[in-house]
Structure 1
Amino acid sequence: MPRFVIERRTALPPAEAWRRLTTWEAHSATVPLTRIDVLTPPPSGAGTVFVARTGLGRVSFSDPMRVAAWQPPTARGGTGRCRLVKTGRIVTGWAEIAVGPDGAGSYVRWEEDLRVRLVPRVFDGLTRLAGQRVFGRVVETLLAG
């Protein structure tokens, strides 16, 4: 599976960076042609399930995800971690989001292991590049608020 890492720094405190990155519905405004529907009641945490639906009309697919681990950053400077597991038939893999203190602000690390079924491994480099660009933009946009 193509794995990629995105790292960013922000002036936001860790709790606010965490809130922005883990408000799943907000991702809809940052991923092209995608709508996020959260299927479990709030608040978010381990066990939360949501679906990213991407496409135009009949040419679309669903990317269901489950929050497998949830540990928000602590007020005493602890790093927050969230692990998402992709449970769909088309897109599989996982993503981990870490948010921790960095001086007066915070750092964000988004690591993802992504596989699109029926896309041969020869295209892993292209999948990795697309993932880095799309999710780099997602992180930047959400942190900019």
Structure 2
Amino acid sequence: MARFTVAREIAAPATAAWAVLVDWPRHGDWVPLTTVRVLTPSPGGVGAQFVARTGAGPLAFDDPMTVVDWEPPSGDDPGDTPGRCAVEKSGRVVRGRALFTVTPLPGRRCRVAWTEDVTVTPHRITRHTGPLVALAGRAAFSTTIRAFARDVERR
């Protein structure tokens, strides 16, 4: 498995960051070459399902996900319960889990952390090169979380 976390402090309240973070189709605004479509009537809560399609032409792949943990932040003040969402990835190319946390901070700010714990097909790639896959993932998702932060802070 390849495991990495990217985190960023954002100049926005936790509840505002959460609302944007779990608006699954908006992930396509920050993740290059990606579109997201929700498969269930409700996009939020445990059991919600969506598919991220990443890539171009014959190099594109689907990354189907199901929400397995869902706890919105209880408020925007330090000491309020952080938001937490976990999704299970069940695709042919990427399998594993992603975890998002949104922690309220002083001054109507928050800290957003995005953790990926994934295996890439063929699985022997991740088994033998997990640290390199994690390094590449960390670099790519650092760009993603910066784009997410700009989006949230503009609101």
TM-score, scaled relative to structure 1: 0.92
Aligned to 1:20: 20
Cα distance in structure 1, aligned partners of 2:10 and 2:96: 27
Q: How far 1:59 sits from its partner (Å)?
A: 2.7
CA deviation vs aligned residue, 1:57-115 (integer Å, no higher than 9, x gap): 23321110000011000026111100010011220010111111111111112111011
User: How many residues are treated as equivalent by the alignment?
Assistant: 145
Give the RMSD, CA atoms, in angstroms. Answer: 1.4
Cα distance in structure 1, aligned partners of 2:7 and 2:57: 34
> Secondary structure of the residue that 1:58 maps to in structure 2?
helix
Aligned to 1:139: 145
Distance change (3 Å), C-alpha of 1:11 and 1:90: same
State percent identity of aligned pairs. 41
TM-score, scaled relative to structure 2: 0.87
- Segments of structure 1 that go 5 or more residues without pairing to the other structure are none
Aligned to 2:50: 50
Q: How far 1:43 sits from its partner (Å)?
A: 4.4
Aligned to 2:117: 113
2:83 to 80, 83, 97: 80
Q: Is the 8 A contact 2:69 2:85 kept in 1?
A: yes
Q: Is the 8 A contact 1:26 1:142 kept in 2?
A: no
> Secondary structure of the residue that 1:131 maps to in structure 2?
helix
More strand by share: 1
Q: How far 1:123 sits from its partner (Å)?
A: 2.2
Q: Is the 8 A contact 2:23 2:43 kept in 1?
A: no
Q: Is the 8 A contact 2:5 2:114 kept in 1?
A: yes
Q: How far 1:128 sits from its partner (Å)?
A: 0.6
